Amino acid sequence: MAIQATEPADSSPRLPSRLKKRRKGVWVLAALGSVLLVLFSLAGYFWLLGGKAPFNGPAWTVKREKLVLTIVERGSLESADNKEFVCRVKAKSQTGIATTIKWLVEDGTYVKGGEPFASIYANTLGMMGSPSASPLCAAAGLRPGRHHGDKLIELDDSTLQENLKDQNINVDNARAAYIKAEEDYKIQLIDNENDIQKAYNNFLIAKLNLEKYIGKVWLDDPVAIAGAVSTLAGGFQTRPLQGAGFLLATIQPDGDYQAKLQDTLGKIELARGDRDSWLERASWSRRMWKLGFMSKTQADSDLSRQESAEYSLTKLETDLRSLEKFEKVVTETDLRSKVAVAYRDWLKAKLGAEANESTKDSDRKSKKSVLDQHAAKQKDMIDEIGKCKMYAHPDWKMYVQQDGLAIYYIPESTRGGFGKQALVAVGENVSEGQKLIQIPDLTRMMVNTRVHEAMVSHVQTGQKALIRVDAKSSRVLKGIVTRVNNTPSAQDWLSADVKLYQTMVSIDDNLEDLNLKPGMSCEVTIFADESTGNVLVIPIQSVVGNIKMGHKRKCFVIDAEGQPQERDIVVGMNNDKVVEVSEGLKEGEQVVINPVPLLVGENSKLKAGVPQIKQQGEGGGPEGGKKPGKAKGPGKVNGNAPKGVPVVTDEMKAKWEKMPAEQKKALIEKFKNAAKGG
């Protein structure tokens, strides 16, 4: 009873909480029943469908569109017109080192080009006050220093200056030797004239002595000379001049021989008269002595005189015979010999003069050649010293002053962080022909990029391109491919098997308002090829297969019941997003975009991807082209996977498995560092 009495008092305040609990339980039971009902409904539906759930992943509706093959690469800006400043100082050794950098303008400094001669001339005419004063050299002289701009670089020329001092001495010595040789040559010419004239005078004197003795006169009229020449032409003459002399000479009575001969004959006649006279006197005296009119002594005296006259006549007759037979022959022979000797001495003098002149002339020319060589070397040294200072020069083609930024030259082989870096800095060695500084034309820019070997065959000059500069990402610039290298660029050891070909793309848009700078990073999209019409396309990640299959691949098509079904297809041209399907699909069908989860069982060996890109009209499988290239850069460019998904080929896997553990570790660390730096 106590319990019953107390129950109403105790239960009255707990009634509301119990109701709440009951209501809550009812709701829970209702929710569980609903879930069970849905599950039973789905189970029944699945049972009716055969036990398979419909595919609810991303799908692509097959459609027709124009397939454009684009190649997207990273690159950097360069000027299309660079004024390059190269070390022209000649190397002095086999190492190729020419000199060192003594002074250098800071990289990126704005410099002014010099004023061209045409502007100097125009501005100087007013200064000179006369339009006739037109020589450009005079104009440049009145405005010194205006023909070149700001100084860019100065190379060390101390060694050249010392060598120039020594060369100046060599030039002076060579010039003195040449002057002496020149004067000796002139003196020799005078000596030659004197020797020839002296020998000729001796010949004339000898000939005159001969003429004086024999009394010959040389005929010089044309008729006589012609006759003598024709006579000599008829027979062999060992001495033509002497033979002509005999023919052209006539004997005259006024010669020494004739005079002596006449004198001797006259004396003989006188002696003969004296003899005859004394003979008669002696005969008379003898008769007178016999008659007694004269003494015997007087008769003997007259007889003695007769005998003396006889002796005198005999002596004169003997002298006449000696003159005619001996003295004349000896004297004439001697005089003729002297004429011949004098003539040969004259010829010898002329030949000796020619020889001496040739010797002196050769010595003079030799000294002149030595002087020219030393002078040329001196000029070359002066030019070399002048090449040690480089200035910003004007544009001589356009005859305008060209200003710009002075930028240190970076070789193409060192831009990727590898290769031998030729530093442009004060104190660094420079080689002959090494590029040092560039002054780019910022109004004409181009993109320097590199295209993968798998894609370079599709790139040709004249193809259009779009450029997006990272610093000016809101502006898309138009361009055109101007050059594609035929040889690959140098690569580092990590990617030595990847061949990249340098490609230059010029920018056609006006760049004056963009303030672009050389070296800015950019992305270039090259429109390499496109289909002739609209073709069936699907995403490249929807295609699965392997290299052995060639252009025959597979994809998964969603059927009418919502289930993915494997289907064989034939693919054609592709870009970095979609691939052409020439056989196996119809417009409007749906394919699975990501078939990787479906690659189980027999399809586990298949991989997502498409074969190498082919232009329309090209066929063949893997035998007709290269294997797909590896991805490059932060995202794949025209490969067989979507952007951001790197491609790993069987060849790469095999290399990785054969690689030593230390090399694997080094590569992993390098990739991590590169990722952090990027």
What was the pLDDT predicted at 569? 93
Q: What is the pLDDT of residues 481-506, one digit of tens each?
A: 999 999 888 765 555 667 889 999 99
* Local structure of 116: helix, strand or coil: coil
Distance, CA of 439 to CA of 115 (rounded, Å): 16
**Mean pLDDT computed over every residue of the chain:** 76
Q: What is the pLDDT of residue 336?
A: 87
CB 535 within 8 A of CB 78: no
- How large is the average pLDDT for residues 248-269? 75
For the chain, count helices (H), then strands (E): 12, 23
Contact predicate 261/324, CB 8 Å: yes
| pLDDT tops 90 at residue 393 | no
* Domain ranges across the chain: 2-49, 55-81+441-647, 192-215+252-385, 653-678
Q: Which residue did the predictor score with more confidence, 76 or 19? A: 76
Mean pLDDT check: name the lowest of 338-352, 503-517, 612-626.
612-626
* Orientation angle between helical segments 256-291 and 296-322, nearest 10 degrees: 160
- Residues belonging to the chain: 678
**Tell me: the pLDDT tens digits for 38-64?**
565 555 554 444 456 778 888 999 999
- 3-class state of residue 645 by DSSP: coil
pLDDT band at 395 (very low <50, low <70, confident <90, very high): low
The pLDDT value recorded for residue 484 is 94
CATH T-level assignment (fold) for domain 55-81+441-647: Elongation Factor Tu (Ef-tu); domain 3 (2.40.30)
Contact 477, 467 (CB under 8 A): yes
**Cα(197)–Cα(342) distance, integer angstroms:** 12
Q: How far is CA 102 from the centre of its chain?
A: 27
Residue 181 has pLDDT above 60, yes or no: yes
Does pLDDT of 115 surpass 60?
yes
End-to-end CA distance of the chain: 88
Most confident of 353-362, 522-531, 574-583: 353-362
Cα(553)–Cα(591) distance, integer angstroms: 13
Model confidence at 323, in pLDDT bands (50, 70, 90)?
A: confident
> Comparing 13-27, 83-97, 231-245, 596-610, which segment has the lowest mean pLDDT?
231-245
pLDDT of residue 501: 92
Q: How confident is the model at residue 422 (pLDDT cuts 50, 70, 90)?
A: low
For residue 419, the 8-state DSSP code is S
- 187 or 519: which leads in pLDDT: 187
Mean pLDDT (whole number) for 388-406: 68
pLDDT of residue 299: 84
How confident is the model at residue 562, as a pLDDT?
A: 87
From the list 154, 151, 148, the residue with the least C-alpha distance to 396 is 148
